[in-house]
Amino acid sequence: FMQNKGENKLLISLLIAFFLGGFELTVSGSLNQIIASTFNSPSMAPLVISAYLAGSVIGSFLFGILVDSFGRKRTLEIGLIVFVLASSLIAISSNAFEFLILQGIQGLAIGGDSTAASPTIVEMIGKNWRGKAFVIVSTVWFLGDMLASIIGLYLLSFLPPSEVWRYSYLFALFLVIPFVFIRFTLKESQVWKEFGVIKRKFTSLQKRNIILFTVISSIDSIVAYVFPFILIPDFIAPYLGFS
């Protein structure tokens, strides 16, 4: 770890965003059929991951604006608070529409939090550790993937499938709560204090281009995941002998 305790605390507080990104994506992708069957809506399965990805892309865009307008610290606090609220409600969601809305909000929080974390690392972690910090947070994403798989398999060994996804979301909820308190003890980026108050005014054409880019990015992210990981496997599974 770094010698500066403040930088250590900052990095630890940022790890949770990338961990949750991997964790929630795996839960959504691997348990989407179970979630759909819980709500008696087979057609909902591809939308489980689509809602999360769409929320992530939109969150990245929105939080990119927030992080420059309101500061790194405040935006990071907002990201985890939104995630906590969405996770607490999604675990007790009672219908498909409610679940998909909350799933999108979860994605928005994680996508936005990851976006806010990047400039925070650049501005608040020393140059000797900056590159290592990005490697660490990227690795933590895959640890989230792995832990989600392990927890899912463990829960399936003694819980009915319809309850496994609910407990998986609750696990993420309780895991993130301590990090919320850590976030509130962080200091604001000095770089943002000095330069972040200068707001750039976009022309109407620039605003339209940004909105168009956001829509295209959302569609691209959804298609890039849904087709290779959900629709195509579902299509070829019967031909391979899987039900």
Q: What is the CATH number of the domain that holds 42?
A: 1.20.1250.20
Total domain count, the chain: 1
The pair of structure tokens assigned to 69 is 């307008």
Residue 60 and residue 107 in contact, taking contact as beta carbons nearer than 8 Å: no
Ranges of H-type helices in the chain: 5-30, 32-38, 45-69, 72-90, 96-124, 127-156, 161-184, 190-191, 204-226, 232-236
What's the one-letter identity of residue 189?
Answer: S
User: DSSP of 105-144, one letter per residue?
Assistant: HHHHHHHHHHHHHHHHHHHHS-HHHHHHHHHHHHHHHHHH
Residue 215 CB partners (closer than 8 Å, separation 6+):
none
User: Residue 161 sits in which domain range?
Assistant: 5-240
Residue 25 and residue 141 in contact, taking contact as beta carbons nearer than 8 Å: no
Check: pTM over 0.85? Answer yes or no: no
Largest Cα–Cα distance in the chain? 62
- Distance between CA 110 and CA 118 in Å, rounded? 13
Sequential pLDDT tens for the chain (243 residues): 555 677 788 888 888 878 888 888 888 888 888 898 999 888 888 888 888 888 888 888 888 888 877 888 888 888 888 988 888 899 889 899 999 999 999 989 888 888 888 888 888 887 777 788 888 887 888 888 888 888 888 888 888 888 989 998 898 888 888 888 888 888 888 877 776 554 455 556 555 666 666 566 556 655 655 555 555 555 555 655 545
